[in-house]
Amino acid sequence: MIEILLIIAPLFLIIFGTAIFQKIKTVPESWESVLNAFALNIGLPALIFLALASTHLTFSEELPLLLTNSALILSSFVLTFVICRIFQLKPKTLRTIFICLGFSNVAYLGIPVLTQTQGESVLPTASLIVAVYVFWIFTVGLGLLNYTQLKNKRGIVTKVFKSLIKNPLLIAVVLGLLASGLRLEIPGIIEKAISMLAASVTPIVLVVIGLFIGKSKFGNIKKWIPILIFSAFTLIAFPGALYLATHYFNLTGEIFKISIIDAAIPLAITPFALADQFKLDKNFIARSIVLSTILSVITIPFWTSLM
pLDDT tens digits, 239-277: 998 888 888 777 777 778 888 888 889 988 778 877 776
d(C-alpha 261, C-alpha 126), whole Å: 10
The per-residue pLDDT for range 29-84, each reduced to its tens digit, is: 788 888 888 888 898 889 888 888 887 767 677 788 888 888 888 888 888 888 88
- Residue-level pLDDT at 196: 92
- Residue-level pLDDT at 2: 74
Burial of 249 (0-12, 13-18, 19+ CB in 10 A): exposed
Amino acid at 285: I
Q: Say whether pTM exceeds 0.85.
A: no
User: C-alpha angle 136/139/141, rounded to 5°?
Assistant: 70
- For the chain, count helices (H), then strands (E): 16, 0
Q: Are 108 and 11 in contact (CB under 8 A)?
A: no
CATH code of residue 63: 1.20.1530.20
Please give the tally of structural domains in the chain. Answer: 1
Q: Is it the case that residue 192 has pLDDT exceeding 90?
A: yes
- Residue-level pLDDT at 149: 64
Closest CA to 95 of 228, 278, 268, 267: 278
The contacts found for 61-64 with CB under 8 angstroms, 24 or more apart, are: 62/128, 62/255, 64/251, 64/253, 64/255, 64/256
What value does the mean pLDDT of the chain take?
83
Task: Identify the domain containing residue 28 by its residue range.
Answer: 2-306
- Residue-level pLDDT at 59: 67
